[in-house]
Structure 1
Amino acid sequence: MNRRQFLQATSAVLAHQGLAHAAIHAVDVNETSLARDPRRPQFHLLPAKNWMNDPNGPIYFNGRYHMFFQYNPQAAVWGNMSWNHAASPDMIHWEHLPVALVPTSDGPDSAGCFSGSTITVPHGGGQRVYALYTGVVHDKQNETIRNEGLRESQCLAWSDDPMLRTWQKQAEPILPRPPQGLHITGFRDPCLLEQDGSYLMIVGSGINSVGGCALLYRSPDLKQWDYLHPIATGSWNGAVSSNPVDDGEMWECPDLFALDGKFVLIYSTLRRVFWQSGTLDPATLRFTPEKGGLLDLGDFYAPKTQLDANGRRILWGWIPEKRSEAAMREAGWSGMMSLPRVLRLSPDGTLRIQLLPELKTLRSDAGLPMTRSRAEVTLTLPVANGEITCKGKRGQPLHVSIQLAGNEILSIEYLPGLHAVRMADREVALDETHFPSLHLLVDGSIVEAIVSETMACTKRFYYDGDLAPDVTIHITGGVDSVECWKVRPISNDRLTT
C-alpha cells in the first residue's frame, strides 16, 4: 500500500489539527517488544517506533548528515504527518533528534506537513538551512487531492541551529495555490536546486486525463516565486482510479539534479519510481529526456537525493511494509529508510547504482556457512542477516535464488544470449562493459539487491515467531567468485540510537 492509498484510507477520519482518528486506537508497544522483534532491521534507519514514510530534505550540514522523514508520532499507521529527524556522521550510524516540523493548528499545514526539500544559503555571516515542504489543510471547495477535501500549498521553514533541532515557519505559504488554468491532479513534494544565480523549484503534479508532470518555478530569494511551465510531463494510461498516482495522472516526489554532465529527473507514479537522464536547456529551462528506466523493481518508493561531503549523489528511498494495518499496529513500527545508494551516469546516459561503499565497515570477520560444488554454491544467512557479493562469468548462465523456508523471496537470472538480467519479472540489458554481478544485503525482513550496477530490487518478507529464520541463497551456473559476511548492527537494541 503506497502513501497515497494510506491517505485515502484515513483522510475521511482526519480530525481537527490534522490528527488522524486512527491514532486514537494506537497499540501501546513497549521498547522491550520493539527491540526483540526479529523483523526490525539492524542496520537500516527507522524511528524507535511508529509509522514512517518518505525521506525529506536529506542534507550534509555543519559536518553531519541530517535525514528528515515523514512520521506519525502517534501510531504505527499513516496520520499526523510530521517531519522526524535523525543525524549521522557517516550515513550509516544514526542519532534520533526531536521531531523537526509538526502541524500548526491554525496554519497552512494544519492537516499535515508533507514531503519536501532543504537547502543551505548564506545568512548573517553564517549559514541557514531552509526547508520547503507541502502543507495540507481541510478545504473541500478548493481541494487539490481528489475526492479527499484536502488542499495543498508549498510552505517555508528555516533553522539557524547548528544541529537543526529548532525551526521557524513562515506564517503564509510561499505558493498558496497551483497555477491558474490548469486542471491539476495534485500539488506537492517540492524539490529545490540552484541554477545560474536563481533558485528553481519543481512541484509534483499532473493534468487531468493527460498525465503526471513536474511544475517549474523560479525565485531570487526562496520567498517570491514565478511559475514558468511544466519542466517535464508523462502520460496517463487511460485507466480510471480514485488515486491519480495509480494511473499515471500524477507524479509524486520529483527530484531533479545535475550528474556527470547531464541532468537526471526522478519521479514516483504507477506504484513505481522512474528515472530519466537528459539535458536542461539553460535558456528555456526545459528538460529533454534521452534515456530512462525504473529505479527499483520492488518495494521502494518516494526517493530523495542529496550530495555528500565528497560531492557524490546519494539516493535514499522509503521501504514500505507489505503487511496489514492490524499487523503494523501490533508490531508498533512501520517502514524504514533504504540503505544509501551512490548514483552516477555512464557515458551513454544510463543511470548506475551502487550501495554506499562505506557500508563494508559493518562487515563482521565471522564467516558464513557456505557449500560449493562445481555447479552450485549454497549460502546460509543466519537469523536473516548478511551481505553477499557475487560475480558471474561472461557468456555463461547464472541463477541466484533467495529463499526463506523453501519459499523464494527473489530470483535473479543472467541470460548470456541476451547479455541481460531477469529479476522481478523484468529483463534489463547490460552494456558490453558490465559482467553479471550481484551485491545483496539481508536485514531482518528486507532484501536490497543491486545487479551489475544497472538494476535494483528491494523486497520485503515476513515470518511468524520471536526468532528470525535463516535465509538460504542458491547460486548455480557460471560463478566466478562469491564473498559473504555477517553484518553488525548499528545499535545494540535495534532501536537505532
Structure 2
Amino acid sequence: MNERRDDPGLMMYWAFDEGAGTSTLEGISKVQDDIQYVFNQAEFTEPCDPQWRPGVLGSGLSFDGYSTYITHSFEEGNAADNPEYLSALSIGVWVAPRSYEWGHERKLAAIVNRYDLDRKQGYLLGMFRHGTWSFQVGLEGGEWKELWSPDGYELPKNEWSYVNAVFDGNQGEMKLFLNGKEIASSTLPRGSRLAEAADTDLLIGKNNHSSMLSEVFSLHMFSGILDELMIYNRALNAEEVAAAYQYVLDSAHEGVQPQLKYDEIKLDRTPLLSDRHRPQYHVSPPAHWMNEPHAPIYFDGKYHLFYQHNPLGPFFHQIHWGHWVSNDLVHWRDLPVALAPEKDLLAPDGIWSGSATYDADGLPVLFFTAANDSASPNQSVALARSTYTMDGDSDLVHWVKHPEPLIVQKRGMGAFGDFRDPFVWKDDDGWFALVGSGIEGEGGAALAFSSQDMMNWVYKGPFFKADIQKFPYLGPIWELPVLLPLGSDKHGVNKHLLLVSPVGEGADVEVFYWIGQIDKQNLSFIPDEEEPQLIDVGDFHFTGPSGMVDPKTGRKIIFTIAQGDRTSELEYKSGWAHNGGLPLSVYLRDDGRLGIEPIQELQSLRGNQRISLRDKSMAEVNVLLKDVHGDMLEIQLEIEPGSAKQFGIKVRRTPEGEEETLLYYDSSQSMFLADRTKTTLHPGEKCGGIQGGKLELLGENLKLHIYLDRSMVEAYANGLKSLTTRVYPTRKDALGLEIWGDGDLFVKSLDIWNMQSIW
C-alpha cells in the first residue's frame, strides 16, 4: 500500500503488487529489480513470467525453490548506506512456505539476506529444517549472532505467516516476532553495530553463499510465496509490529489471519505443458524431480499412486511422497504431498520408497522407508495411516505417521545399513513384507518378514538372494522388491513373479525378474530358473518397479520410473526430471514365459486414426507415411521379414533423416534394439548409441506396439519384451516415420493414432 512507504525509517519496500512481468519495484529507491526465473528465457518450452500468486495485499511472488530470486544492488547514496542502518535493523515480511529445505551445511534457505559469513558481516533472515527459522547478523568486532525460532513456532507450509526480525544495537537486543507477537529474544552488548557487507548484493529468495549441487543447483533457496517485504533502519517496537500485522488483517481480510488456498500455492505444471520434450500422457509430477512411482492401491473407487519427489527443484535432494489419484489408471490428478520429512525422530531426513496395503478393516496404509541420519542404520520401515475414518476424504490427502518404526534392522539381518523399500501384502494368513537389502559377501537379497497384526513383525530370513559369483550384474544390494501372483500354469502349479532392482558396485540397474513358487512355510522363493530375465531391454530407462493386483479386474500391474537421459544443466533449464512409465499388465503365458502388455485403458487416449493399412510393401507404406507426423502417437505394426535380417521402424525422424531413432529387430542375433546414433544434434544431450537385448521370436513376425510421447519411446514386442528409451531431438520437424529393413519385407498391418494429453 502506497501510504506504508512513508513509515519512518523504511529503507526498502517490495509490495510485489505487479502481478505480472519479470521485475518488481523496490518502492523507496524506485529501482526495478529483475526477477531471475528459469523460464524468463526458455530453451524447450514457451518463455513465461515468474509465477505471481495472490498475496496478503494485492499479489505476491511465488518462488519455485531452485531458480526464482531477486538481486537488489546498491548505489552510492542509497538509503541502506545510512549510518543508522548499522545500529538498528528491522525486517517484516509475509511468508507462505511451500516446502522446507534440508539445511545442508547448516545454511538457511534465505528469505532476504545481505551477508558474508566468512567475514561475519551483514544480515540473514531465512528458514531451516522443518519450518524452523532464524535471524542472523554480523557485528563489528567479528561476532556472528544467531537468533532461532523456539519449538512450536515453526512456519507452517501452505499458510501465511507474518515474520519480523529486529536488531537493536543501541539497546543490545535481537527479537523475533511471529504474527505480531514476540516469540524469541537475545541480548547483545549495548551499542552493538552491524558489520556491513558493503560489497554484497541483497538477495531475496536465494542465499548469498549457497552450496552447489552437481555444480548447477544452488541450494538454500526459498520455496513458496512472499509478500510485503519491508526493511527499516530502526528497531520497531512490539506495538509497531503488532500494528503492522493488524493493518493487513483489517485492510483485506476482515480482521482474521489471511487464508491461502492450496491451488494458489501448489506447484504449477502449466509452463511445462508446451515443453517439446516433456511427456504429456505419461504420469509426472507438476514440476521438479521424481524418482520411482510406488505404493499403488485401489480404494473407494479410485486408484492412488505415490512417488518419490523433491518439491524444491529438478534434482535429487529432500525426498517426499508425491501423490496422484485416478479413476482409470490413465488420467491422473495431482494431489498435495502425502508424506514429508518432519521434525521428529522417525523420518526427519527423507520419506523413501515403500508400498501400500490394507489394514484389518480394509483401510489403506502406507509402509515407507524412514530416513533418519542420526540413527544407525539410517533407514527403517515405518507406517502411515489415512485419516479417511475421521474425514471421509476419498482422495486420501491426509496421512498420519505411526510415531515409531515398525521394523528396525539388526546386525545379521541382511547387509547392515542397507534396508529399504518395504513391499507389504496381506492374505488370509496375515501380513507379509519384503525389504530390499543384501547378504554380506553373497549379493543382493530380499528379506522376508511376517506379522499377525501388521504392527509387530518377525524376521523370517532371506526370501531370495543372489549368487553374485554367477550373476555379478545382480549386485551386492537389491532395492524395490515386488512380489505378484501369476496364478496357475498349465500344470496347475501356482506361480509368482519376483522383481528386484540391483544397485551397488558392479550392478546393472535394471528391473530383473524370476518366475517361481513360494515356500509359504519358510517364506522363501524358489525360482523356475536360476538366471533372471529382463522385462525391458532398454538401458536404465525402465527402473524403480512397483506393483499391485488390481481389485477391479484381477490384473497384475507394474509401474516404473522412466528415467531421463540428460545432464543436470539441461534438467535445470527444463524444470523437470523423469516421469512414470505406462502401467504394464503382466501375466503367465501358456508357454510359461512372462507376457507383458500396456493396459487397455490407454486406448481412451486415442484421437484421430492417422493410418490403417494391411499387406503392403515397405515402399508402398513409406509413401503413405510421408503425410503422418507426430511426437504423441500410438503405433501398432506387424512386419513379415521376407529377405530382411534387420527390420523395424524409424521414429522422430526429420524429413531428410538428419535426426531419427531406429527401433529394429536383428533376426541373426535374436536382438531387439534401438539405434540412437542419430537421435539428436544437440551438443548437450547425452542420448546416443545402440541399446537393446535378447528377444526370441521363434519364427513369429515382429509385432510392435509403440508409444511416442515427446521424449518417451516405449516399444512392446510380441507381448514378450519392452524397450524403453529417451529421445531429445533438436529439430522441431523430427516428427516423421519410416519403415526400414536391409532387404525386402512385407508390412502385414500398420495402425497409427494421435494420442491426447492426460493433463
What residue number does 1:168 align with?
400
Q: Does the Cα contact within 8 Å between 1:27 and 1:75 map onto a contact in 2?
A: no
For residues 145-202 of structure 1, what are the alpha-carbon distances to aligned partners after superposition, in whole Å with 9 as ceiling and x for unaligned?
A: xxxxxx1111111114222111010111001224536444611100012244121100
Given that 1:185 and 1:208 are in contact with CA atoms closer than 8 Å, whether structure 2 keeps it comes out as no
CA distance in 2, matches of 1:468, 1:311: 42
How many residues are treated as equivalent by the alignment? 462
Secondary structure (helix, strand or coil) at the match of 1:328 reads: helix
Assess, with a 3 A threshold, how the Cα gap between structure 1 residues 425 and 100 changes in structure 2: closer, same or farther: closer
Match of 1:135 in 2: 370
Give the C-alpha shift of residue 480 in structure 1: 1.1
Residue 41 of structure 1 deviates from its aligned partner by 1.1
**1:194-273 aligned within 5 A:** 194-236=426-468, 248-261=475-488, 262-269=495-502, 270-273=508-511
Q: Which moved more, 1:257-266 or 1:20-29?
A: 20-29
One-letter amino acid of the structure 2 residue matched with residue 76 of structure 1: P
The aligned residue for residue 422 of structure 1 is 672
TM normalised by structure 1 equals 0.85
Higher relative contact order (CA 8 A, sep 6+): 1
Could you tell me which of 459, 462, 473 is aligned with 2:738? Answer: 473
Matches within 5 A, 1:38-437: 38-123=276-361, 127-139=362-374, 142-143=376-377, 151-161=378-388, 162-180=394-412, 182-184=414-416, 186-236=418-468, 248-261=475-488, 262-269=495-502, 270-291=508-529, 292-298=532-538, 299-308=541-550, 309-367=552-610, 374-376=617-619, 377-378=621-622, 379=625, 382-393=629-640, 397=644, 399-403=647-651, 404-405=653-654, 406=657, 407-413=659-665, 415=667, 420-423=670-673, 424-430=691-697, 435-437=701-703
CA distance in 1, matches of 2:716, 2:222: 36
Q: Write the distance in 2 (CA, Å) between the matches of 1:295 and 1:185.
A: 29
The percentage of counterpart residues that share the same residue type is 28
Contact 2:281–2:756 (Cα < 8 Å) also in 1: yes
Deviation at 1:119, TM superposition (A): 0.6
Instruction: Please report the RMSD computed on the Cα atoms of aligned residues, expressed in angstroms.
Output: 3.1
| 8 A contact 2:613–2:749 mirrored in 1 | no
1:442 equivalent in structure 2? 708
Encode CA deviations 1:212-251: one digit per residue, 9 max, x unaligned.
0000000011110000110111133699xxxxx9870011
State the Cα deviation string for residues 445-477 of structure 1 (Å, max 9, x = none): 110110001111111111347x57314232442
Q: Alpha carbons of 1:183 and 1:421: their partners in 2 closer, same or farther (altered >3 Å)?
A: closer
Structure 1: how far apart are the matches of 2:574 and 2:535? 29
Between 1:14-23 and 1:275-284, the stretch displaced more is 14-23
Mapped to 2, the partners of 1:118 and 1:49 lie a distance apart of: 24
Question: 2:609, 2:751 within 8 Å by CA — same for their partners in 1?
Answer: no
Name the counterpart of 2:83.
none
Please report the TM-score for the alignment, with normalisation by the length of structure 2. Answer: 0.57
- Match of residue 24 from structure 1: 220
Structure 1 alignment gaps of length 5 or more: 1-9, 144-150, 240-244, 492-497
2:693 counterpart letter in structure 1 = R
Does residue 755 of structure 2 align to residue 490 of structure 1?
Answer: no
Q: Distance in 2 between matches of 1:285 and 1:468?
A: 55
Shift of residue 30, structure 1, vs aligned partner: 7.4
Q: Displacement of 1:297 after TM fit?
A: 1.5
SS of the equivalent of 1:361 reads helix
Retained in 2: the 8 A contact 1:273–1:301?
yes
Task: Answer whether contact 2:485 2:556 (CA < 8 A) is retained.
Answer: no
Distance 1:441 1:152 in 2: 37
Contact residue 18 and residue 112 of structure 1 kept, 8 A: no
State the partner residue of 2:260.
none
- 1:173, 1:51 → 2: CA distance? 27
Matched residues in 2 for 1:31 and 1:195: separation? 39
The farther-off stretch of 177-186 and 112-121 is 177-186
Gaps in structure 2 of 5+ consecutive residues = 1-100, 107-127, 132-209, 214-218, 225-266, 389-393, 489-494, 503-507, 674-690
The question of whether the paired residues in 2 share the 8 Å contact of 1:290 and 1:349 is answered with: no
Partner SS state of residue 251, structure 1: strand
Partner SS, residue 365 of structure 1: strand
Provide the secondary structure at the position in 2 that maps to 1:43: coil
Q: 2:696 is aligned with what amino acid?
A: A
Runs of 4+ in 1 over 4 A off after TM superposition: 10-23, 25-32, 368-373, 394-398
Output the CA distance in 2 between the equivalents of 1:30 and 1:172.
34
Q: 1:159 & 1:319 partners in 2: Cα distance?
A: 28
Separation (CA, whole Å) in 2 of partners of 1:128 and 1:218: 19
Shift of residue 364, structure 1, vs aligned partner? 1.4
User: Residues 76 and 468 of structure 1: is their aligned pair in 2 closer, same or farther, counting only changes over 3 Å?
Assistant: farther
What amino acid does structure 1 have at the position aligned with 2:697?
L
**Alpha carbons 2:614, 2:748 under 8 Å: kept:** no
Post-superposition offset of 1:40: 1.3
Q: Is the 8 A contact 1:238 1:247 kept in 2?
A: no
